[in-house]
Amino acid sequence: MPTAFVLINSEIGAEDAVLKEIKKIKNVVEAYTVYGVYDIIAKVQAENMEKLKEVVTWSIRRLNKVRSTLTMIVIEPTE
């Protein structure tokens, strides 16, 4: 199952509101506010890469008060 971690910067003071909205997104399996360069980290899983890209592009990045994102797609180990 394709998985990605999305690092999110929100507008100042909007971290809690953005986190609440992110947690409502169907394919977001975990989300937390964090200290550091980014404000929020979200783990996203989807049935295929197309759906994963759709969630990041159209559901997370389009949220009000999201300023920027950095998406890291997990490489599945092959055995």
The predicted-structure confidence for 31-75, as pLDDT tens digits, reads as follows 999 999 999 999 999 999 999 999 999 999 999 999 999 999 999
Count of C-beta atoms within a 10 Å radius of residue 40: 22
Which one, of 66, 71, 65, 56, lies nearest residue 25 by Cα?
Answer: 56
Res 78 pLDDT > 70: no
3-73 CATH fold: Alpha-Beta Plaits (3.30.70)
Task: Give the pLDDT confidence score for residue 12 in this predicted structure.
Answer: 96
Which one, of 44, 31, 37, 35, lies nearest residue 4 by Cα?
Answer: 44
Domain boundaries, the chain: 3-73
